[in-house]
Amino acid sequence: MVPTPETRARQTYTILDRTSPPDITFLTQTDPFKLLVSVIMSAQTTDRQVNEVATVLFQRYPTPGDLANADLDSVKAIIKSTGYYNAKAKNIVGTAQALVENFGGQVPLDMEELVSLPGVGRKTASVILGQIAHKPAIIVDTHFTRVVQRIGITHEKDPQRIEQEVARLLPSEYHYRFSMIVNLHGRQVCHARKPQCEICTVAPFCASYPL
């Protein structure tokens, strides 16, 4: 019998939960403000690059107030190696200003409030909600999308539809952990170009096996 998307999702959770490290983080900042800025900077670059740049950026601007008053060109110079630095600099300074002006310098832990900040979409907001607030969060990035589509958990293409569909298939207490273990699986095994299907523990439940 062909497994349903729900069965694929639950089996993927069970298998990867057992074989993945207990705590998975890709960006090293743990302070809500610093993590939020790091996630905004992480578009189209590597987490390693963001972690290096973040160290320098937060030595210079450790608080939302500091970054809100920063000179834009100085910020651009620091974050240049992350790519798209004009837009990213505007967004991180704009977000710092919005935190100071609208949220008392604190990062709000609410989806609607988070996505009101410049450069913050649902993916970025979900990282904050999952990692900082320990709330249910499906984090739809490029790795997550590729893996859930290949396994056959969803055929949706729009990120928000993917988020809704996966959220519907799993209990909410699994959402954040599922996001992280699937993301890690995409980085380590189910690569974009050459997925390692021959060593993949999820293969029995994967609609694309062998790819």
Residues labelled as active-site residues: 123, 141
Total residue count of the chain as it appears in this document: 211
Return the number of the residue (107 or 151) whose C-beta is nearest ligand SF4: 151
Find out whether 162 and 127 touch, Cβ atoms under 8 Å: no
Shortest separation between residue 44's beta carbon and ligand SF4, angstroms: 23
Single-letter amino acid code for the residue at 15: I
Which parts of this chain interact with ligand SF4 (CB under 6 A)?
Answer: 147, 150-151, 189-190, 195-197, 200, 202-203, 206, 208-209, 211
Shortest separation between residue 202's beta carbon and ligand SF4, angstroms: 5
Shortest separation between residue 147's beta carbon and ligand SF4, angstroms: 6
Return the number of the residue (167 or 189) whose C-beta is nearest ligand SF4: 189
Return the number of the residue (120 or 153) whose C-beta is nearest ligand SF4: 153
Q: How far apart are the first and last CA of the chain?
A: 20
Please name the residue ranges forming H helices in the chain: 5-19, 32-41, 47-60, 64-68, 72-79, 85-102, 111-114, 122-131, 142-151, 159-169, 175-188
39: CB partners within 8 A, 6+ apart: 27, 123, 124, 127, 128
Shortest separation between residue 165's beta carbon and ligand SF4, angstroms: 17
Return the number of the residue (122 or 150) whose C-beta is nearest ligand SF4: 150
Burial class (CB in 10 A: 0-12, 13-18, 19+), 192: exposed
φ/ψ bin of 63: left (φ > 0), alpha (ψ from -120 to 50), beta (otherwise)? beta
